Amino acid sequence: MFRHNTIHTTTTTENPHYHHSISREPQPFSSASTMSSSEPPLIPFGPDSTCTLALCPITDSVYRYRPSLPANSVFIALYSLLLVAHLYLGHRWKGARWFMWCMVAGCLDEIVGYAGRVMMWHNPFNFAAFMIQIVCVTTAPVFFCAGIYVTLARTINAFNPTLSRIQPSLFYKIFIPADIVSLILQGVGGGMSSSSSGRSQTAIDLALAGLGFQVFTLVVFSALFIDYLARFARTPAAKSVLDARMKTFLGFLGLAIVLILARCAFRVDELSEGYGGPLVAREGLFIGLEGVLIVLATLALCVGHPGFAFGRVERDKDILSSAESATIVVTEKK
């Protein structure tokens, strides 16, 4: 569980920029500090937090650092661009609308989450901002996974569904509900952290369970799909179907899965010791193994987009349908 320093303040005139000098003793992290019998206590964390950068040292904040304004602003800009890109691709290939909405939901979740981190740059003790970023940044990849599950189930249907060990429809009937369970566990864990001012070990355990279940789901799904591709590759149709375009599509989808798995593994390790663990206080690791990995995964899903793999089929169907309609009209006129 997160352990924090209690803040004791006494009146001083040595520093004209501060009204209080601060001494710390190790206490449970939600404990309130006492200034004097006539002054309200300073509370570093929780819904009733009263600390600010002017009153409390940064080491008394939940992360023990001030989130980087440039890094988090860049992430907001990148996810905004990726959101526009996925909207464009979804508009271009209408058959991939489900995939588009999954990507849009994930990008919006990330944008809100990193906006919360920008709010924490202004005040690292802002509990509402902490809750916004911990819930949104943690849960966003769940939406990306949902899009991947539906896309690869559709791929099996397009290749040869008889080779799959389970019915293709079960890929999203099983794995999307599993994703929802992961989302609920992570969301409930975040909500309990809010109501308990971060003191609840149960809240941390629920968030860990959600992340761990997401890793398990991805691993099982990946194993089933790799098994299917290995079986399909041995069929005569594989040479004509697995052309450069399709290999690129599958390769970038696979890359996105690996990146999301690596990120989830990091977050499980990060939270394994609660909010007081050493990894929570290392922003460089968060930026690299959370921020960068998921941005790259979202970018990979622009290339591993179902429209690139199946767009030609849809276009050919539209052309054929238009030709058939024109033939019917000509025949009727005769």
Whether 193 shows a pLDDT value over 70: the answer reads no
Whether 31 shows a pLDDT value over 70: the answer reads no
User: What is the C-alpha separation between 34 and 43, in angstroms, rounded?
Assistant: 9
Inter-CA distances, 86 with 83, 106, 252, 256, 258, Å: 5, 11, 15, 15, 20
Q: Which of 222, 161, 213 is nearest to 184 (CA)?
A: 213
Range with lowest mean pLDDT among 14-18, 104-108, 266-270 = 14-18
What residues form DSSP beta bridges with 22? 9
Local confidence band at 331 (pLDDT 50, 70, 90 cut-offs): very low
Residue 261's pLDDT is 94
Residue 26's pLDDT is 37
Residue 328's pLDDT is 38
Residue 5's pLDDT is 45
Whether 286 shows a pLDDT value over 50: the answer reads yes
Q: Calculate the average pLDDT of the chain.
A: 81
Residue 282's pLDDT is 94
More confident residue, 192 or 174: 174
User: According to CATH, what is the number of the domain 69-305?
Assistant: 1.20.1070
Inter-CA distances, 21 with 54, 110, 130, Å: 11, 38, 26
Whether 120 shows a pLDDT value over 50: the answer reads yes
Angle, CA 146 vertex, CA 141 and CA 150 arms, to 5°: 150
CB 25 within 8 A of CB 52: no
pLDDT digits (tens, 9 = 90+) for 121-156: 999 999 999 989 988 998 999 999 999 999 988 899
Residue pointed to by tokens 């070990």: 201
pTM, two decimal places: 0.79
CATH 1.20.1070 region(s) of the chain?
Answer: 69-305
Residue 145's pLDDT is 93
Residue 94's pLDDT is 82
Local confidence band at 48 (pLDDT 50, 70, 90 cut-offs): confident
Whether 98 shows a pLDDT value over 50: the answer reads yes
Residue 253's pLDDT is 94
Inter-CA distances, 100 with 68, 143, 147, Å: 30, 10, 8
Whether 32 shows a pLDDT value over 70: the answer reads no
Residue 73's pLDDT is 98
Residue 198's pLDDT is 56
Residue 17's pLDDT is 38
User: What is the C-alpha separation between 231 and 309, in angstroms, rounded?
Assistant: 20
Local confidence band at 288 (pLDDT 50, 70, 90 cut-offs): very high
More confident residue, 129 or 12: 129
For 186-244, the three-class secondary structure string (H helix, E strand, C coil) is HHHHHHHHHHCCCCCHHHHHHHHHHHHHHHHHHHHHHHHHHHHHHHHHCCCCHHHHCCH
Tokens for 157, please give them. 């249907």
User: What is the C-alpha separation between 192 and 200, in angstroms, rounded?
Assistant: 7
